[in-house]
Amino acid sequence: MRRSRFTHFAAIDWSGAAGERQRGIAVALCSKGDATPLLVRPGHRWSRAEVLAWLGEELPAATLVGCDLSTSLPYADRGAFFPGWDDSPPDARTLWALVDRICQNDPHLAASSFTEHAQASRYFRRHGGRLGDRFGTGAGRMRRTEEAQRALGCRPYSNFNLVGAAQVGKSGLTGMRMLHRLAGRIAIWPFDPLPQTGPVLVEIYSTIAAMAAGRSARRSKIRTVAELHTALAALGCTGRPGMEQVDDHQADALITAAWLRRAAQDPRLWSPPALTPQLARTEGWTFGAV
């Protein structure tokens, strides 16, 4: 372990659901030390635009931010995000720009225009039994980092799946619109190298944090204050968040912020053996998946 240069640690449980304000968004923040993380704006129902504004305008200068969303799409398995489409981007940043451009008229950082796009939609599994002719077979294509998640015991899903409770595609696509707008303002690892100063944003998977707090992958979701206190204590937190009730989104954010504070000190997590320069430009990586 080494001393982290970060003074604050934030975790964002993100949502790709339709509408302006989302029950599924929660933001937690803690400082270095062992104090229990606290919710940012407790009781507030966040919009995606408000999260973007908070990151750009209110974030403490030396903050490590974890966002529970997929920062890119599979690339390495086929040598392209969208094989067979002439406009398939060469790297993640160009992908973010493409999604944001196609969805420029979608309010609230939504991404429905992308999933309904004549070419892009061919790669997704959508509601109503609409399976794109280029979706592939089985559960769908996976990134290398999702294979690493599986090796840890997690149960990731394809970002090309937009159906069911486990779908993660909409969350990732809406998140890409936010990342495109944050580019140049906040370092986004591993697409950006880890800078010596300033805030850094990383992709997280809350199940990894929950497992570090003593939960199993199948029982990673916490919905009671008693379970939350136990998990935070396992991550070295002192004190309690002073909540009478908690939902799983708030719990995910609080636990992941506490985990980030510890995990940031581990140099292995910043240099995963499977993370190549090509993956760092295209697929990205989930912090903690080693």
pLDDT by position in tens, the chain (length 290): 456 899 999 999 999 999 999 999 999 999 999 999 999 999 999 999 999 999 999 999 999 999 999 999 999 999 999 999 999 999 999 999 999 999 999 999 999 999 999 999 999 999 888 999 999 888 899 999 999 999 999 999 999 999 876 678 999 999 999 999 999 999 999 999 999 999 999 999 999 999 999 998 888 889 899 999 999 999 999 988 878 899 999 999 999 999 999 999 999 999 999 999 999 999 999 999 99
Whether 257 contacts 202, CB under 8 Å = no
Sign (positive/negative) of CA torsion 2, 270, 140, 179? positive
Chain centroid to Cα 52, Å, comes to 14
Please report the pLDDT score of residue 3 as a whole number: 66
- The domain ranges of the chain are 1-290
Query: For residues 82 and 128, what is the distance between their CA atoms, to the nearest angstrom?
Result: 22
Q: Is 199 left (phi over 0), alpha (psi -120 to 50) or beta?
A: beta
Sign (positive/negative) of CA torsion 212, 196, 172, 20? positive
Please report the pLDDT score of residue 137 as a whole number: 84
Q: Is 133 exposed, middle or buried (0-12, 13-18, 19+ CB in 10 A)?
A: exposed
Sign (positive/negative) of CA torsion 40, 46, 52, 57? negative
This prediction's pTM? 0.95
81 is written with which tokens? Answer: 């995000």
